[in-house]
Amino acid sequence: MAGLLAVVALTAALPLAGASAGPVGDGPERPVAEQAGPAQTGAADKVDDVPGSGPSGRDASESDASRSGASGRVGAPDEKARAEKESAARRPQDGSLLTGLGLATTTRCGPQLASPGGIEAQTCVLTQGEDTWARTYYRNATGSELTAVLTLMAPRGRTVQIHCPVGAEDEPGLCETPRERTQGSPSQYAAVAEYAAAGDGPLLLRSGSNSAPSHGR
């Protein structure tokens, strides 16, 4: 793929990566805790401590008698419920298999750009464990639905490309390629995202992680 074409772009004030998915910085590689996932994420299940409706009166007495000898363990169900609630709160909210496993994620992001028409974007290459993938963060304030084409450029000329619809809700969103096993050095990877009007509309913005790798190109 040719180098990034010039697109009229301004540095935007909105921290897209942070608004969409936690801290992702510009420039050189930096390890961060991986917090983001697919553009559509579900909220974690809410687990509340609800007092159980146990037996009362004579039935309660019989139940208490049947549990004689279990002194000191009556509070175990409540402790178990609290432990399950805490565990649910720590679960990843996006269904990602690797997110939340404590693996460090290295991100390399290009500058945050904005077009005069109202599309803002920042594109990154992420590496976690043995996997590498591309991700682009965006906010679409054009008032119209757009299409994003995100391409991950790997060593030896290999590319991975995905098309993502971009809604007109003027909310932070993201699009990412599937994760693939890292080949060579993560620094040899680059990503570029192209935002255009739906259909055969014109290109509005091109956002890249850095220059395309020179190895094998």
pLDDT in tens, 120-162: 999 999 999 999 999 999 999 999 999 999 999 999 899 999 9
| Mean pLDDT computed over 102-112 | 88
Question: Who's near 65: CB < 8 A, 6+ residues apart?
Answer: none
Distance CA 198, CA 144 (A): 8
Q: Would the pLDDT of 73 be above 50?
A: no
Within 10 angstroms of residue 119's Cβ, the number of other Cβ atoms is 25
| Cα–Cα distance, 160 to 149 (Å, whole number) | 11
Could you tell me which of 87, 92, 107, 91 has the C-alpha nearest to residue 210?
107
What pTM, to 2 d.p., does this model score? 0.56
Reading the block at residue 148, the tokens are 């994003």
Question: pLDDT value at position 65?
Answer: 45
Of the candidate ranges 100-109, 177-186, 202-211, the one whose mean pLDDT is the lowest: 100-109
Burial annotation 124-136 (CB, 10 A radius, 16+ → b, else e): bbbbbeebbbbbb
Average pLDDT, the chain: 69
Class of domain 10-39+100-208: mainly beta
pLDDT: is 204 or 22 the higher one? 204
User: Residue 211 pLDDT more than 60?
Assistant: no
